[in-house]
Amino acid sequence: HTHSHTHLQLDQKLHNSVLQTPDDLETSEFPTEDCSVMAGGSLTGWHADVATVMWRRMLGILGDVNSIKDPEIHAQVFDYLCELWQNLAKIRDNLGISLDNQSSPPPPVLIPPLRILTPWLFKATMLTERFKQGKLHAYKLICRIMKRRQDVSPNMDFLTHFYNIMHQGLLHQDQDIVNTIIKHCSPRFFSIGLPGATMLMLDFIVAAARVTACSSLNAPRVEAQILLGSLVCFPNFYEDLAALHPTTADVVLTKFPDIKEHIIKTILTSAREEPSAPARCVALCSLGIWLCEELSHGTEHPQIKDALNVICVTLKYPNKNVALVASDILHLLISYADHLQKFPPEMPKKIVEILIATITYLLPTTESSPHELDKRLVVSLLLCLLDWVMALPPKTLLQPIQTRSPPEREQPTKTLLSCIYKVLHGCVYGAQSFSSAKYFPMQLSDLSSPDYDPFLPLESLREPEPLHSPDSERSNKLQPVTEVRSRIQQGLVSIAARTVITHLVNHLGHYPMSGGPATLSSQVCENQDNPFCESADLGPELFNSPNLQFLVLNGTTLLSVLQIRSESGVPGGGMAAGLSSAPACVRVIIRDVAGKHSWDSAVLYGPPPCSPNSPAHTLLPQTESPHGTNLHLHTPPGGPLKRMELKEEDGEGDGEEERGMEGDGKDSQLVGEVQGEERNLNDEEKEEQGDGGEEERGQEEESIDHQLDGESGSEQLLAPPLAKRVCREAVPAWDSLREGDDTLDEMLQYLGYSSPECLQRAGMPLNIPAPPPVCVSEKQENDVINAILKQSAAEREFVLHRGEELNMRAVQQTEPETETPQSAFYYCRLLINILGLNSWEKRSNFHLLRKNEKLLRELKNLDSRQCRETHKIAVFYVAEGQEDKHSILTNTAGSQAYEDFVSGLGWEVDLTTHCGFMGGLQRNRSTGQTTPYFATSTTEVIYHVSTRMPHDQDQNLTKKLRHLGNDEVHIIWSEHSRDYRRGIIPTEFGDVLIIIYPMKNHMYSIQILKKPEVLFFGPLFDGAVVDMKILPTMVRATAINASRALKSLIPLYQNFYEERARYLENIVQHHQEPTTFEDYAARVYSPAPCTYLPSDTGSCLETLRGESPALGEAGSDSASPMSPRTSKTRMSMKLRRSSGSANKT
């Protein structure tokens, strides 16, 4: 090639550019060896460069193909050129590929000239309408050439001609030309990073709108929607974007600040009116991406409400595939619920109301529909409703809702949460329950507002769509599949609704728990803290535990009731901190469709004895009140009164003293009066008492300190003795007589003196002895007297010698000690009875389980099943130049953008301590130390990240490939200059590949490769372009939806809640033990005989006794249940949630 470069025509320049021949190339630069004579070397014969030159010359012999006069021949030639270029492209794709998949070869030196045909193509586009077919082939080939990755960047002359031709073609009046450009530029025209490609953005928007507006179903509708969807993130990124004006053929750049409005207006129209189902699905996904983009940037765009309106109305679209895509988009927006609360503020509540009304609208027709897809749509809406409810704060859920009910229907104000449970109730028991106003949640007309139109018209599809998904080839080979599937379908909606109800009851406002988002179900089992079980796993010895019983409630819930030791030595006192409680507590382990939950309960009697409010202390003032009152009334104020006040203060505390002295006005008045009387008495008798008064006061104080034991002490204190009465005018007192005095004689003498009318004879005292009887001799009288004296002496001797014996004393009444129940199942039986489960009404729904080893195996299997939807997804990093498996798998780190992306997929968890879904990863660090993990209350996702797994040995590399290759969804971050090929990672799985290519403008192009049988999924689609702000969320949602789509292809596949519900049903059917009430009561009273004792304890009683820290040294409750005040202290049960803690700490 020795042309004069200064006089070359434009087409020759283009030839040089596509042949990759620089304009200033000289002959001396060609190598003189290792090439043929034709190329300036010394080799002779047939070589690769000779074949290349010969091929180029043979092509040149054709001359200018655009000079062909016959349009048909012209079209055939260009059709062949398309085939020729396709072969060249295949040759290029197969160059530089690793043969052993262990190392990447260097880039090839010689590559096919893929742009060699462009001069003919450019010229063909300027031909007349007679050559229309050839022009269409030319436009098709131009688009195919330029939407590929360019090995050599085109020069400016080439780009100028290319953009001019594309501008003219997109504005062409012929719709076929526009359709051809749109079809073959999609999906990756804007993602390959051609310099200045954004100039054509507005042209493509207008052209895509023309395609969607035409009535032909053969138009490239899906490709047009993909091109529009790939542009939704550009306006926020570029702001004021300069582009070619779509109304003039001149190449003039103009700034269009409203380019976002053009894009979203076209997409909104397509989402409402697009007649093609696949194209409408792409339009809905584009709306979802645009909503997330706007919400994350906080633009508060006014058309956000319109986009949400279209998505929510599509939920009830007749085509269920389209409605399912809308449900997925609404599910995606949960990640941006916080942004939605800011604009519009009522939108999260509105979305929940829309879901309720839509389910209410769809349920009657769904129940009568024979198609599974109809039921799957309602189930998808139920799960979407569940996640939205879990994401909203309780304040929002308790807000009232406005309904357009008739005025005569007087119903209490409905809250959002009550409507949620009403629609779930209808899904469980059937749509006929909605006929009652009591159970009717809300209707679509209640949602009408200026911002939302529930009856927004949507155009119907104009192409035949199946009402349900066709069966796969594998399922057709199974004979009983149809029968089993129809049986499963019957309860599909009901099981999902029951799961949602149970999930809300257990986890609403209680997720994430203290164990973290990875913990949803309890990990506590019946063998833990069980003194009768020493094994580390569920074993047959549990059946011999007298403190454990297995029960089933309502045919859907398994209960394990276990009596264990009370907590002692725990900081703060454990569960019954600061309270007097029973020596044992009850653990209830519940297994239902929502998971496994564990509760501990304890009987609480009241405050401990040392507490001021304890029953024992409130009893003391009542027992001492009679003595206290007497002392208070008769004791002089100077001494014993003060002492008694101190005594009462010590006994009752400050609170009782204040209540006694200040709170009761009558008591204080009485005390004042008594004190006044005693003060007067003290003044009058002070002189009489003299020095003896002080001694008597000391004696009185001492007697008070000794609690006034004995009646004599009390009399001495109550009536201190006066001077002895020696005159007969005074009444003789027993304490004033001297020893030997006759008390009767003294009394008779006093009566005769004080009451002379009583004398039998005047002047004759009454105490004169009577004469002896006539019939009794003196000897007889003396005998009687002696007998009386002897008897008196004998009685005194008996009292003196035997009066102190125990059998002569009164028996002291002692307080009964606390009796610990002897049964190892006593408190469990008490709790079951208090909860009303032993009643006749519950007897038909409460049964025993048959104990055998098969039950234990099935309990273990049930506990091993996940209570959430689980997904495992592989993540690969491909660096520049990596074309083989070994190089990709040995990457230990990626670029900063890649690491930021991985951190956005989920949070890092330590595999050695992670208690959630593992996805096959090991805790022994053989599969890495950490990995990203994401979880909600209904979904778990764990990522197998290639850069996190070790590869120091071939064995580890094989294990790494096994974990990564067995995942069905692969996320590939590729920074290589060539497209990722599916065969680089050899695996039978990897049915869906989500490939991310970083672009030069810091945006990210998405390529999705999937097998043909995989149904459509979103929100990302092949050709989407997003920015880093929403990239991790979009990729995670797309990977989850792809995993669901793959699982739906499995014959007889069941969701996690369906599988768990069926498994619970099987356990109940095979292990429920029908018993009479007598047998049931006996088994509840004693689950199993105590045949052996634990090795670390002396007896069953000691095993369960474990004194509560709140009890005294004797281990008994000082509060008597019959005392007046303690009867007010009711026995209560305290429940403590222990879900998620394997061991109590």
Residue 645 scores a pLDDT above 90? no
Range of weakest confidence among 411-425, 663-677, 956-970: 663-677
Residue 1131 scores a pLDDT above 90? no
- What is the rounded average pLDDT of the residues 97-110? 85
Give the neighbor-by-neighbor strand order of the sheet with 580-592: 1072-1073, 846-849, 548-553, 557-565, 580-592, 595-606, 1132-1137
The string of pLDDT tens digits covering residues 413-423 is 789 999 999 99
The string of pLDDT tens digits covering residues 475-527 is 444 444 455 555 556 688 999 999 999 999 989 988 888 888 998 888 899 98
341 and 398 belong to one structural domain: yes
Residue type, 1101: L
**Distance between CA atoms of residues 748 and 759, nearest Å:** 10
Q: What token pair was written down for 572?
A: 């703060």
Q: What is the pLDDT, as a whole number, of residue 464?
A: 52
Residue 728's pLDDT band, with cuts at 50, 70 and 90, is low
Block residue for tokens 């064995």? 955
Q: Last residue of some domain: 1024, 1053, 1082? A: 1053
**Quick one: which H or E segment has residue 494?**
helix 492-507
Q: What is the pLDDT, as a whole number, of residue 866?
A: 83
Structurally, the chain folds into a number of domains equal to: 4
% residues pLDDT > 90 (the chain): 40
**Full DSSP string of 963-1021:** HHHT-SEEEEEE-SSS---GGGS--S---EEEEEEE-TTSEEEEEEEE-TTSPP--SS-
Whole-prediction pTM: 0.76
DSSP state letter for 63: -
DSSP state letter for 659: I
User: Would residue 142 count as lying in a domain?
Assistant: no
871 and 750 belong to one structural domain: no
Residue 628 scores a pLDDT above 70? no
Report which of residues 174 and 20 the model is more confident about.
174
Q: Where in the sequence is the domain holding 1034, given as residue range(s)?
A: 867-1053
Residue 657 scores a pLDDT above 60? no
DSSP state letter for 601: E
Average predicted confidence (pLDDT) for the chain: 79
Judge whether 1033 and 292 are in contact, CB under 8 Å: yes
User: Would residue 658 count as lying in a domain?
Assistant: yes
Q: What is the pLDDT, as a whole number, of residue 248?
A: 80
Residue 572 scores a pLDDT above 60? no
Q: What is the pLDDT, as a whole number, of residue 681?
A: 37
565 and 600 belong to one structural domain: yes
625 and 576 belong to one structural domain: no
Give the neighbor-by-neighbor strand order of the sheet with 930-935: 907-910, 930-935, 939-945, 869-878, 969-974, 992-998, 1003-1010, 1025-1027
The string of pLDDT tens digits covering residues 836-856 is 888 888 888 899 999 988 999
Residue 779 has a CB neighbour count (10 Å cut-off) of 8
633 and 739 belong to one structural domain: yes
Range of weakest confidence among 404-413, 509-518, 639-648: 639-648
The string of pLDDT tens digits covering residues 288-318 is 999 999 999 998 899 999 999 999 999 999 9
639 and 727 belong to one structural domain: yes
- What is the rounded average pLDDT of the residues 881-887? 89
% residues pLDDT > 70 (the chain): 77
Q: Last residue of some domain: 734, 758, 782? A: 758
Residue 762's pLDDT band, with cuts at 50, 70 and 90, is confident
Residue 697's pLDDT band, with cuts at 50, 70 and 90, is very low
Judge whether 944 and 964 are in contact, CB under 8 Å: yes
Q: What is the pLDDT, as a whole number, of residue 489?
A: 62
E strands within 834-990? 846-849, 869-878, 907-910, 930-935, 939-945, 969-974
User: Would residue 917 count as lying in a domain?
Assistant: yes
Residue 1112's pLDDT band, with cuts at 50, 70 and 90, is very low
User: What CATH number has the domain bearing residue 960?
Assistant: 3.40.50.11210
Residue 13 scores a pLDDT above 60? no
**Full DSSP string of 541-576:** GGGG-TTEEEEEETTTEEEEEEEEEPP-S-GGGGGG
State the Cα angle at 960 between 956 and 962, rounded to 5°. Answer: 115
Q: Last residue of some domain: 711, 738, 758? A: 758
Q: What token pair was written down for 538?
A: 């569920």
- What is the rounded average pLDDT of the residues 1063-1079? 90
409 and 472 belong to one structural domain: yes
**Distance between CA atoms of residues 168 and 177, nearest Å:** 10
User: Would residue 653 count as lying in a domain?
Assistant: yes
Residue 695's pLDDT band, with cuts at 50, 70 and 90, is very low
- Could you tell me which residues are beta bridge partners of residue 548? 562
User: Would residue 86 count as lying in a domain?
Assistant: no
577 and 630 belong to one structural domain: no
User: Would residue 603 count as lying in a domain?
Assistant: yes
Query: Considering all CA atoms of the chain, what is the largest pairwise distance in Å, rounded to the nearest integer?
Result: 187
- Could you tell me which residues are beta bridge partners of residue 590? 559, 597
Report which of residues 1109 and 128 the model is more confident about.
128
- What is the rounded average pLDDT of the residues 859-875? 92
Report which of residues 957 and 169 the model is more confident about.
169
The string of pLDDT tens digits covering residues 348-392 is 999 999 999 999 999 999 988 888 889 999 999 999 999 999 999
Q: What is the pLDDT, as a whole number, of residue 497?
A: 94
The string of pLDDT tens digits covering residues 431-461 is 888 888 888 888 888 888 888 899 999 988 8
978 and 1084 belong to one structural domain: no
User: Would residue 907 count as lying in a domain?
Assistant: yes
339 and 463 belong to one structural domain: yes
333 and 468 belong to one structural domain: yes
Q: Residue 918 in 3-state DSSP?
A: coil
Residue 571 scores a pLDDT above 90? no
The tally of CA atoms less than 13 A away on the side-chain side of residue 642 is 4
**Quick one: which H or E segment has residue 704?**
helix 692-705
**Distance between CA atoms of residues 940 and 920, nearest Å:** 14
- What is the rounded average pLDDT of the residues 667-688? 41
Residue 1054 scores a pLDDT above 80? yes
619 and 729 belong to one structural domain: yes
User: Would residue 425 count as lying in a domain?
Assistant: yes
Instruction: Report the candidate in 821, 822, 820, 835 with the shortest Cα–Cα distance to residue 551.
Output: 835
The string of pLDDT tens digits covering residues 594-617 is 899 999 988 888 877 655 554 444
The string of pLDDT tens digits covering residues 27-45 is 444 444 567 777 677 788 8
